[in-house]
Amino acid sequence: MEFSVTKSDLVNELNTTQGVVERKTTIPILSNLLVEASGSRLTITATDLELSVRTSCDAKVKKEGAGTIPAKKLLDLVRLLPEGEIKFKLLDNHWVEIVSDRKKYKMVGMAKENFPAIPAVPHTLVQIPAAVLESLIARTKFAISLEESRYTLNGGLMILKPDTLAMVATDGHRLALAETDQKLAGLNSEVRVLIPKKAMDEVEKLAATADADAQMDFARDESNLFFQVGHRLLISRILTGQFPNYEAVLPKDNNRTVVLERGELADAVRRVSQLADQRSRAVKFSVSNEGVEISASSPEYGEAKETLEK
């Protein structure tokens, strides 16, 4: 394998892989990237066995082939190199030679045969606007449980219907539901999938780096979920188990609603919470015809109260 690539292109794609790569693992190959040079493209793959990412960029390929390179060390080095072309050459002992101008480095690699295979991408189920999915994840992922024993709560429930798209997350104490009217062409029935939190974080990043009007291809098989935007593909294991019946806890026929300016509400909560009990961090909301009263108190610090008009 022998190829050259520009620093800017390489850094962009290496950044895409860093959230997936395992830095502390008992399987050394998972700390490496699989680098494949073919045609006029360089393809880079990372996996932790639960989550995989594959991305690519333009390259000048002198000799096709594949090898593995330590992910973090490669990015750390490439970031420090000057702008311009970087040459890579796979050596006989799985080492990789890296040349930039008059600078030469050799990095210890591993046999590409040891790198885990990633699943084949099935037929696209539906296309989702990347910006819409990014927004739904951003508005719900804070409610995901961090307790590993509550396995089915360690992710979000994505609900796809022909006319709507929703994301739900809960840790058993709080629940976040974000839903939007969204025509999903080609979808004839409801689809529900549980997405692990790490995968949600990476899907959000993938969408954030895409064009404003980009579409994300979504597909699934029996075990995996597939999200693709342009030349970047993310594959995640499906989170198994039964997500709680969240609809049962949502009030039916509720007419007690109030609309507040988001910025004012956030600022008020930040100020009032300064005097909240440090253990419970509790802030009380009292709704009346006049508006919403936000209050907190603690024996150590005192009391705080603000009222926001409707």
DSSP 96-120: EEEEETTEEEEE----GGGSPPPPP
Over 90: is that where the pLDDT of 223 sits? Answer: yes
Which tokens hold the place of 54?
A: 């594959």
User: Residue type at 80?
Assistant: L
Q: Provide the sign of the torsion angle of the four alpha carbons 220, 221, 223, 229, taken in this order.
A: negative
Q: What is the rounded distance in angstroms from the CA atom of residue 96 to the CA atom of residue 2? A: 10
Q: What is the pLDDT of residue 24?
A: 79
How many whole angstroms separate alpha carbon 155 and alpha carbon 153?
A: 5
158-194 pLDDT per residue, tens: 999 999 999 999 999 899 999 999 999 888 899 999 9
Question: What is the chain's alpha carbon radius of gyration, rounded to the nearest angstrom?
Answer: 24
Q: What's 54's DSSP letter?
A: E
Contact 164, 180 (CB under 8 A): yes
In the predicted structure, residue 290 carries a pLDDT above the cut 90: no
Give the whole-number percent of the chain exceeding pLDDT 90: 85
**Strand, coil or helix: 270:** helix
Q: For the chain, list the domains and their CATH numbers.
A: 2-114 (3.10.150.10), 126-249 (3.10.150.10), 262-309 (3.10.150.10)
Summarize the confidence of residues 112-128 as an average pLDDT.
95
Mean pLDDT of 96-110: 96
Higher pLDDT, 226 or 290: 226
Residue 24: which residues within 8 A CB-CB, separation 6 or more? none
d(CA 255, CA 66): 61
Secondary structure letter of residue 25 according to DSSP: -
Q: Can you give the length of the chain in residues?
A: 310
The stretch 239-248 carries a mean pLDDT of 91
pLDDT surpasses 90 at 257: no
pLDDT band of 250, cuts 50, 70, 90: confident
Q: Bridge-partner residues for 30, per DSSP?
A: none
Give the three-state DSSP class for 89.
strand
Confidence at residue 120, expressed as pLDDT on a 0 to 100 scale: 95
Q: Is the pLDDT assigned to residue 26 strictly greater than 90?
A: no
Condensed to tens digits (0 to 9), the pLDDT of residues 196-209 reads: 999 999 999 999 99
Pick from 133, 155, 158, 125: nearest CA to 208: 133
Is residue 144 over pLDDT 90?
yes
The pLDDT, as a whole number, for residue 149 is 84
Report the mean per-residue pLDDT for the chain. Answer: 94
Residue 264, pLDDT > 90, answer yes
Average pLDDT for residues 214-222, to the nearest whole number?
95
